[in-house]
Structure 1
Amino acid sequence: MNLILETDRLIMREMRHEDAEALFEMDSNPNVHKYLWNKPFTTIEEIHNYIEMVRSQYERNNIGRFSTILKETGELIGWTGIKYIDDHIENGNTNFYDYGYRLNEKFWNKGYASEASKAWIEHGFNKMHIDVMNAYTHAENGASNHVLSKCGMKFMEDYIDEHGAPWKWWQMKNTRK
């Protein structure tokens, strides 16, 4: 993929295998996975498999999660981006655009999630011409629920996933057409 998004502080580019160590640092942290079924990654191989899965989404759907880099230091702070959900059903839905992000804990509470979210929503609506953008967050993840609300997503409903966990369904319609 040749797509690169930039904000004042961030560069968002395709995920690559050279990102594995920084992604492993993030995804092996139990705090990062608190609202993700409490299953942090335990091997670097899991990260390489994840990167392969993301890269296959680029090929299949021409979009996916992107490594997100801090311009000032060059550090990979996590991933952000739009994903086309066509591989499972979420809240009774499939074949939809989903916005999501995951950041390394040391980069939380610095406004990076909001900054990236606004850039991706703008890209999705203005460049990709997506009609509806969805997102879902664990019901108890107050920080992520706040970020989505702050970026203009509308809370639609609560639902329970197949594992019995409570989630919130968010949505934003493209009014920029």
Structure 2
Amino acid sequence: MTAAQADLQIGRPSVADGAALWRLAKESGNLDLNSSYAYLLWCRDFAGTSAVARAQDGTPVGFVTGYLRPDRPGTLLVWQVAVHTAHRGRGLAARLLDALTARIASEHPITTVETTITPGNTASEQLFASYADRHDAPVEREVLFGAGLFPDGPHDPEVLYRIGPLTIRPPHGTSQAPSH
């Protein structure tokens, strides 16, 4: 980890971060962009299941948004992951994902992480495959939403990646009390 990476702080987003998360998603070039209003709501209503990486000046440079599935509260669905171009290729997305799941696991028993990835999104495929490897968990893949289900024009299918059962380890350099 470089000094610049060590200087990044990972925590919960606040409503004040909504605009920055929207910009990061827009600039990512590969995420389905939600309305700016949606990111504001996400930072308010799902801050507990999301994480933001901040530079020393407090500026968000990466995020992961997620939620616990209502019908499967032991499953974290990861909605979006974005990292500013200046911070890509340094493992920040993996650090965000590990920090988020460690935090949630300390508060709720989670056994599974799910996400959807469109075919050909190699960066996301590698991120979640390496996450599964770090946590000694198998990965199941299946088409969740076929291309024909999207009403707003051509859209690649969304492939569900189900990772679990999980062994959550605390992020590097931190400790986590055992749960009872």
TM-score, normalised with respect to structure 1 = 0.66
Q: Distance in 2 between matches of 1:17 and 1:137?
A: 27
For residue 138 of structure 1, report the CA deviation from its aligned partner.
1.9
Report the counterpart of residue 159 of structure 1 in structure 2: 143
Task: Report SS of the residue matched to 1:169.
Answer: strand
User: Equivalents in 2 of 1:155, 1:68: separation in Å?
Assistant: 26
Q: How many residues align?
A: 151
Inter-CA distance 84–145: structure 2 relative to 1 (3 Å threshold): same
Find the counterpart in structure 2 of residue 47 from structure 1: 36
For 2:83, the equivalent position in structure 1 comes to 103
* Paired residues of 1:69 and 1:75 also in contact (CA < 8 A): yes
Out of 86, 89, 96, the position equivalent to 1:116 is 96
2: CA distance between counterparts of 1:174 and 1:147?
A: 16
Counterpart of 2:64 in structure 1 is 80
Alpha-carbon distance in 2 for matches of 1:27, 1:113: 13
- Is the 8 Å Cα contact of residues 155 and 168 (structure 1) preserved in structure 2? no
Q: Which one-letter code corresponds to 1:172 in the other structure?
A: G
Q: 1:56-95 counterparts in 2 under 5 A?
A: 56-58=45-47, 63-70=48-55, 72-86=56-70
Q: Which has the higher helix share?
A: 2
Paired with 1:69 and 1:118, the residues of 2 have a C-alpha distance of: 16
Give the share of equivalent positions with the same residue, in percent: 11
Aligned to 2:12: 14
Matches within 5 A, 1:137-156: 137-152=117-132, 154-156=138-140
1:90 maps to which residue?
none
Residue 116 of structure 1 and its aligned partner are, at CA, apart by: 1.5
Tell me by how many angstroms 1:79 deviates.
1.5
What's the RMSD between the two structures over aligned residues? Answer: 3.0
The DSSP-based 3-state class of the residue aligned with 2:113 is: strand
| Paired residue type of 1:112 | L
Residue ranges of structure 1 left out of the alignment (5+ in a row): 1-6, 87-92
Shift of 1:21: 4.2
Contact 2:14 2:43 in 1 (8 A): no
Runs of 4+ in 1 over 6 A off after TM superposition: none
